Amino acid sequence: MNISRLFCIAMLFLVQACWQENKESTSAKAQHTYQLVMQKDLAAYWVLEQTQHSVSIDKSAKPQSAGWVEVGFVIDDKGRPTNIEILRSVPASTWHSQARRAANQLVFKPLKTSVPKPQIYTTWTFYFSP
């Protein structure tokens, strides 16, 4: 067997292994059903307890340009963001760590009318300036 044929066989095994791993993680995520609620509609379920937030930035790592980061997260039954993920940002990856810290500071309280509380997945956009 020549080297290129061995390489192709190895790549096929690698692709199959990655596909199987992705299939298993997707089925695990499918077990959790969340209701997607946009930030503007979130007040029908949860109220943000604190409207002003600040994130301290290390002066040596401070980005030189303004930007924004959109994060997605699930609100747990205590009103805290969980499973925080970066969805998109401008400029790319400049403000990611600050956005994660800001998202962790969010605290929501449920509306009394939203009983039982659905599992909410929402997005939140943070704006930053140097």
For the stretch 53-90, pLDDT in tens is 555 655 555 667 889 999 999 998 888 999 999 999 99
What distance in Å separates the CA atoms of residue 17 and residue 9, rounded to the nearest whole number?
Answer: 12
Looking at residue 56, its pLDDT comes to: 60
The answer, yes or no, to whether residue 93 has pLDDT greater than 90, is: no
**H or E element at residue 3:** helix 3-30
For the stretch 14-58, pLDDT in tens is 445 444 444 444 434 445 678 888 888 888 888 888 766 555 655
Question: In terms of pLDDT, which residue wins out, 68 or 4?
Answer: 68
What distance in Å separates the CA atoms of residue 26 and residue 5, rounded to the nearest whole number?
Answer: 31
Looking at residue 29, its pLDDT comes to: 44
Looking at residue 73, its pLDDT comes to: 95
Looking at residue 4, its pLDDT comes to: 52
Question: In terms of pLDDT, which residue wins out, 41 or 111?
Answer: 41
The answer, yes or no, to whether residue 130 has pLDDT greater than 60, is: yes
Whether the bond between 116 and the residue before it is cis, its omega within 30 degrees of 0, is yes
The answer, yes or no, to whether residue 115 has pLDDT greater than 80, is: no
By mean pLDDT, which of 1-5, 62-66, 105-109 is the weakest?
1-5
Of 86, 85, 52, 39, give the one whose Cα is nearest residue 67.
86
